[in-house]
Every structure is written in C-alpha cells, then in structure tokens.
Amino acid sequence: MKIAVLPGDGIGTEIVAEAVKVLKVLDLPFEMEEAKVGGAAYEAHGHPLPESTLALAKSADAILFGAVGDWKYDTLDRPLRPEQAILGLRKHLGLFANFRPALCYEQLTHASSLKPELVAGLDILIIRELTGDIYFGQPRGRRTAVDGHFPGAEEAFDTMRYSRPEIERIAHVAFQAARKRNKKVTSVDKANVLETFQFWKDVVTEVHKDYPDVELEHMYVDNAAMQLVRAPKKFDVVVTGNMFGDILSDEAAMLTGSIGMLPSASLNAENRGLYEPSHGSAPDIAGKGIANPLATILSAAMMLRFSLQQPEAADRIESAVRAVLAAGYRTVDIWSEGTQKVSTREMGDAVVAAIAGKTITTITKS
Ligand SMILES: NC(=O)C1=CN([C@@H]2O[C@H](COP(=O)(O)OP(=O)(O)OC[C@H]3O[C@@H](n4cnc5c(N)ncnc54)[C@H](O)[C@@H]3O)[C@@H](O)[C@H]2O)C=CC1
Ligand SMILES: CC(C)CC(=O)C(=O)O
Ligand SMILES: [Mg+2]
C-alpha cells in the first residue's frame, strides 16, 4: 500500500509533518512517498501540479494533502496558481464526494464562538459535491459586455452547471451516509433564483424515492447559513454543491471550535481518496509553529478508515486526539483559560505519545 504525501505550501508542510509522525507510530504496512504541489511545485518545476506529482497521486492507494496557496502567487496566470493543483487533483482523480464532518469535541465546547449549549455534542456531516458547479463550469473568462447594465464595459463571467448524473451520484452518497447516521438529509440549494439549483432540487427529490427511510428537507443556502449558527444540531447530513459546500463548511468549522479541527475526505467512484484539512495554507501564521495539526491528523484517520481498510488504526488516532484534548493540550486557535498552549509540533508529539500508550501529562485548570 502506498500513500502519496503532498504537503504543499504555508502551514501545509507543518501540519502534514505531524500527521506523518502519527501515521509512522502506528507501524502499519504501507509506504509513504512525498512530492511537491502548489506554490512549492511551481517554484521547483514551473507548474503547481507537475506530471510527476499527478502520476504519484494516481498510482497511490490514498493521498494525504496539506494545503496550497500564498498571496504572492495571486498575480500569476490562473492555470499556474497553486490552487489549480488541488482543483486539478480533484478533477483528474474524479474526487466528486467531499465529506466534511463537523464534530464538536466535548472539551472544545467553550472554544466555539457560539454558546456552549448550541454546539455541545454537535455531530453533522457536510457532503459537498467537489468536481462540478461554478468552480469547474466552462465557459469562463473576461470579455467586453454586449448587453447588461453597462454594454461595452469590461466584464468577467463564470458558468454554473450541473448534469443529472453528477447530482444523482452525490445524492446517493448523501442518502447512504444518512442511513448510517440519523437518517436525515438537508439538501441546500438556491432554487428560488438559479436554474442549476432548481434542477439540483428536482434530481435530489427523485433520488430520494430510493430512500424512503431517510427524511429529506430542502433549504435555501442563505437560510442554511443562518440555521447553521442558530440551531446547528438540527442538521444531520447536509448535501450541497461545490461553492455552497465550500462556504458552509468553513462556517461549520467554527461550530467545532476552529477551522483547524475540520478534517475532510474526497472520494471517487472507486472509493480512492484524497485526505486534507478543510482549511487553506494560512499564510498569516505559516512558519510560526502555531497551526493546529488536528484537522490533518483526523484526515489521516479518515484515510485509514475509507481507503486503507484500517478502521482500528483510525479509531486509535481519534481516541488519541480525544485524550490530548482531555489532557488540556491546545494550539492557540482552540486555547481557552485553564488549558495549555502548545505548538504544532507539541500537539503532534502529544497525539503520538497517546497512541504509543505513554502517559500524557494532564494540564490542570488554574
Ligand atoms: N485546499 C486548499 O489547499 C485550500 C487552499 N486555500 C488557499 O489558502 C490560502 C489562504 O486562504 P485563506 O482564505 O486565508 O484561508 P485559510 O483557511 O488558509 O485561513 C483562514 C484563517 O484560518 C486560520 N487557520 C487556517 N488553518 C488553521 C489551522 N490549522 N490552525 C490555526 N488557524 C488556522 C488562518 O490563520 C486564517 O486566519 C489562499 O491562497 C487560498 O486560496 C484555501 C482553502 C483551501
Ligand atoms: C481552492 C479552493 C476551492 C479550495 C477550498 O477552499 C476548499 O476546498 O475548501
Ligand atoms: Mg474552502
């Protein structure tokens, strides 16, 4: 078994190093091979997703990905920007189903910006369609407007589109996931304005006929954004398109305490997957050793469960994360009074120690 390790840029290298440490302590029969991606690959090879990196990703049983991007690349032509690497991997590998579980760990109830009673025990799953929508739709570009409010003016345009099979397959994923949970799917759309999302709603409703045991509700995205912070525990599985899912999952991250707590799995039809934290490369904190590595470590656990058939090892990682949080270890993004601020590396070390069965020093509240 081979894992392709693609750390990327910014905090990507720092957090992936901790996840790799955690995977190594499990002593499982797989090899890891690292390659550059994003801005790091652009610097080394002139392209954010070089052929060699793509070939490694295609040949591996699973991919552990950090994050890509930096403000300094924002003036590059779009095909050369670091973000094209992750978009390219999703497209080339057909990674259409993105699972973003938002769990509020008991110890982090007070780390959320919401009232503790709103988030205590939260366990929702956002399923984001990942290879369609306005992020991939063609045509797109710049041109001179021939109509609209300002004919003759320079304008930019993108294309929002979804085909029936694209919607059907993600809807099946969502209903099947809900069957293993609390049997409720909220399909988020903007059917009141966008034809693409009226179609989305119609197709999800048709697919629902195969799952009479699962409750389906439809919600407009603006309301969903509001309900997520009003009463998040009313959701079970949320299924939505690429752009709405991108935005809502960052919002949901704050229900868990921090974007540094939200892992993700992106799967294709063969259940091969790419595993990455839901956040980006965080250039504002890169190099400071303060990034929270837990989303990446928890993504590695998802990788063991979904792609590498190692559910016990995944459980061990998740239990270790609970143990270090219970012991009071906190990176700065989840720190609160009475807990211990630790660095990215110290958090990784604590998870490794917990897996190895070593006693973790409990930090007592002052
Ligand atoms: N999958 C990917 O590779 C993604 C890449 N990006 C790229 O990342 C770059 C930065 O984008 P932003 O909009 O700033 O989003 P971001 O997710 O990188 O950061 C947003 C905020 O969250 C904080 N943050 C993120 N991860 C954290 C962690 N593990 N621990 C503690 N704090 C954390 C950051 O410090 C920042 O204040 C851009 O180039 C963007 O395009 C953004 C999202 C996903
Ligand atoms: C390049 C972006 C589409 C990445 C992102 O924001 C995400 O996947 O959440
Ligand atoms: Mg995002």
Concerning whether 27 is annotated as a catalytic residue, the answer is no
* 73 classed as catalytic: no
246 given a catalytic annotation: yes
Burial readout 282-312 (b: 16 or more C-beta within 10 A, e: otherwise): bbebbeeebbbbbbbbbbbbbbbbbbbebee
CATH topology of domain 99-267: Isopropylmalate Dehydrogenase (3.40.718)
Q: Please pick, among 73, 190, 275, 329, the residue that the annotation labels catalytic.
A: 190
CA distances from 100 to 23, 57, 63, 299 (A): 21, 21, 16, 10
pLDDT at 354: 97
Give me the phi and psi of 134, to 5 degrees please.
-70, -15
Q: What is the pLDDT of residue 289?
A: 97
Give the pLDDT confidence of 6-22 residue by residue, as tens digits: 999 999 999 999 999 99
Tell me, what's the ipTM? 0.99
Question: What are φ and ψ of residue 2, in 5° steps?
Answer: -130, 135
Q: Residue 366: its pLDDT value, please?
A: 41
Ligand 2 atom at shortest distance from the alpha carbon of 279? 9
pLDDT at res. 361: 73
d(CA 353, CA 289): 19
Residue ranges of the chain that CATH labels 3.40.718.10: 1-96+272-366, 99-267
Per-residue 3-state assignment (H helix, E strand, C coil) for the chain: CEEEEEEECCHHHHHHHHHHHHHHHCCCCCEEEECCCCHHHHHHHCCCCCHHHHHHHHHCCEEEEEECCCHHHCCCCHHHCCHHHHHHHHHHHCCCEEEEEEECCHHHCCCCCCCHHHHCCCEEEEEEECCCHHHCCCCCEEEECCCCCCCCCEEEECCCCCCHHHHHHHHHHHHHHHHCCCCEEEEEECCCCCHHHHHHHHHHHHHHCCCCCCEEEEEEHHHHHHHHHHCHHHCCEEEECHHHHHHHHHHHHCCCCCHHHCCCEEECCCCCEEECCCCCCCCCCCCCCCCCCHHHHHHHHHHHHHCCCCHHHHHHHHHHHHHHHHCCEECHHHCCCCCEECCHHHHHHHHHHHHCCCCCCCCCCC
Confirm if 267 and 95 have CB atoms less than 8 A apart: yes
The response to whether residue 86 sits with its C-beta less than 6 Å from ligand 2 reads yes
The amino acid at 141: G
Give the pLDDT confidence score for residue 271 in this predicted structure. 87
CA distance 58 to 25: 26
Distance CA 171, CA 341 (A): 41
The alpha carbon of 264 and the centre of ligand 1 are apart by a number of angstroms equal to 14
Strands 329-330 and 340-341, sheet pairing: parallel
Out of 105, 135, 162, 275, which one is annotated catalytic? 135
Question: What pTM was computed for the model?
Answer: 0.96
Query: Is the Cβ–Cβ distance between 263 and 298 less than 8 Å?
Result: yes
Residue of 126, 217, 210 lying closest to 168 (CA atoms): 210
Q: For residue range 254-276, what is the model confidence (pLDDT) as tens digits?
A: 999 999 999 999 999 998 999 99
Decide whether any atom of ligand 2 lies within 6 Å of the 18 Cβ: no
Q: According to the model, what pLDDT value does residue 30 have?
A: 93
Give the pocket of ligand 1 (CB within 6 Å): 11, 15, 67-70, 83, 86, 259-260, 276, 279-285, 291-292, 295, 333
pLDDT-above-90 percentage for the chain: 95
Q: By mean pLDDT, which of 138-142, 240-244, 293-297, 360-364 is the weakest? A: 360-364
Position of tokens 């009071």?
Answer: 328
pLDDT for residue 364 is more than 60 = no
Q: What is the reported pLDDT for 363?
A: 64
For domain 1-96+272-366, the CATH architecture is 3-Layer(aba) Sandwich (3.40)
233 catalytic per annotation: no
Summarize pLDDT for 277-321 with one digit per residue, the tens: 999 999 999 999 999 999 999 999 999 999 999 999 999 999 999
Q: Dihedrals φ, ψ of 65, to 5°? A: -120, 140
